[in-house]
Amino acid sequence: MPHARISPESPIGIFDSGIGGLTVVKAVQAALPAERIIYFGDTARVPYGPKSQVTIRRYAREDTEILMKHQPKMIIVACNTVSALALDVVEEAAGEIPVIGVLKAGAELASRRSGSGRIGVIGTQATIGSNAYACAIQEEDPAIEVISKACPLFVPLAEEGFIDHAATRLVAEEYLAPLVASRIDTLVLGCTHYPILKSMIASIAGPGIDIIDSAEAVADKTRALLAAQGMLNPGTGAAMPHLLVSDLPQKFRELYRLFMGTELPDVELVGV
């Protein structure tokens, strides 16, 4: 049972290493417009992908503690890297409230959708190195073959706004070639930054490959979980997300517009 001070009106806490998790905020807002969202982006310490497990686990605990001060009714880990390497740390820091990670949601959706049983997964070095996606997909169906590829340059390209850019195309062709050659029928965007590059990735993958965006999968899971607990917000308001960041880089306003398609609301700076 959720904590006594928690009510259906309490916010949903969402965090990522930086701005990538805003793709999850967008999907949750679209699926559950009455929910209040509090988002923490660890913009001072992004990227997490190339860092060690010890560091990622420490950051995961600190990020959760920042959100817990706002008494959320649940936490969404909108970072595949943290979902892969530190979900248990988040669950422990969250205490009694439920935690959903993008990774499991994406793995479940991919295994339901794949017809051929050959699934490609792309993500950060830490996510792919952990093998967590392959394990989560094979937990759903041990017969599925998972072909994984780390795509470390995609995060800086997305943050640079290189969405329809020749440099991104070159990099994406290089990264995706072995996956396409492996005759996958499903490709999981195993990093919350990647939906920004989805149309480029889809055009290189071709029409025969179904692209899975774990942001949408996590939004569906969130609705089901809150409904089962009687914790859906009964309001009708479509509030702006409450944004917390650990640094306010110059490009933040521009990046927010790019990821969310709306103007930046007020932002609160928090120390890490």
Residue 117 tokens read as: 């049983």
196 sits near ligand DGL (criterion: CB under 6 A): no
Q: Of the two residues 6 and 84, which places its CB atom closer to ligand DGL in the complex?
A: 84
CA angle 35/231/104 to nearest 5° reads 80
Q: Cβ neighbours of residue 50 under 8 Å, at least 6 residues apart?
A: 124, 125, 126, 152
148 sits near ligand DGL (criterion: CB under 6 A): no
Partners of 37 in beta bridges: 12
233 sits near ligand DGL (criterion: CB under 6 A): no
10 sits near ligand DGL (criterion: CB under 6 A): no
User: Running DSSP on this structure, what letter comes out for residue 214?
Assistant: H
In single-letter form, the type of residue at position 184 comes to I
* Angle separating helix axes 22-31 and 214-228, nearest 10 degrees: 50
**Residue span 107-136 as binding mask against ligand DGL, x where in contact by CB under 6 A, dash where not:** -----------------x--x---------
Task: Work out how close the CB of 73 gets to ligand DGL at its nearest, in angstroms, rounded to a whole number.
Answer: 23
48 sits near ligand DGL (criterion: CB under 6 A): yes
Ramachandran region, residue 121 (left: φ > 0; alpha: ψ -120 to 50; beta: rest): beta
23 sits near ligand DGL (criterion: CB under 6 A): no
Give the number of residues written for the chain: 272
216 sits near ligand DGL (criterion: CB under 6 A): no
Catalytic residue among 102, 155, 191, 218: 191
Among 2, 47, 101, 106, binds ligand DGL (CB under 6 A): 47
CA 201, distance to chain mean position in Å, is 17
Nearest to 51 by CA among 91, 20, 17: 17
Q: Of the two residues 135 and 228, which places its CB atom closer to ligand DGL in the complex?
A: 135
8 A C-beta contact, residue 32 and residue 22: no
Among 17, 29, 64, 114, binds ligand DGL (CB under 6 A): 17
Cβ neighbours around 143 below 10 Å, total: 7
Among 10, 168, 192, 246, binds ligand DGL (CB under 6 A): 192
Catalytic residue among 12, 46, 79, 150: 79
3-class DSSP state of 149? strand
Q: Of the two residues 79 and 231, which places its CB atom closer to ligand DGL in the complex?
A: 79
16 sits near ligand DGL (criterion: CB under 6 A): yes
Active site residue 79: yes
Q: List residues near ligand DGL by CB under 6 A.
A: 16-18, 20, 46-49, 79-81, 124, 127, 155, 191-193
Q: Which residues are catalytic?
A: 79, 191
